[in-house]
Amino acid sequence: MGTIHYGGSGTTVHIEDRALAHLKVVISTKLRRGECFTLSWRHRDDEERGRSTLWLHPAIPLRFVFDEAEPAALSREWIERLADSANSSGGIMLVPEDMSPAEHPNPS
């Protein structure tokens, strides 16, 4: 289970390493371009019910921490789906890797 550390307030988000590796690519690309956007996800089963959203901005500190020492192999299709959602008005919605575009809860 990896972790996103966001902002000076110590906000932490726990995300499975493989999903975090894919998010890192999409988030880093958008922030490198100076773009602001949201990241949303459904809470894990062991957390309070619901979902959360972060506003991501290039000026806010961000750190990705992975439990696994070796980087995950990346799926171009999953990165493209996440990038497409990042460019929508709803921002990135973290969806499972095997979810088809038609099942996506936040279509572009």
Mean pLDDT, all residues of the chain:
86
Give the dihedral sign, CA 49/93/19/27: negative
> What pLDDT does 108 receive?
38
Residues 55-74, mean pLDDT to the nearest whole number? 92
Sketch the domain layout of the chain as residue ranges.
2-103
Q: pTM for this structure?
A: 0.83
User: Distance between alpha carbon 5 and the CA centroid of its chain, in Å?
Assistant: 12
The more confident residue out of 70 and 100 is 70
Going from the C-alpha of 46 to that of each of 22, 43, 53, 90, the distances in angstroms are 22, 8, 18, 25
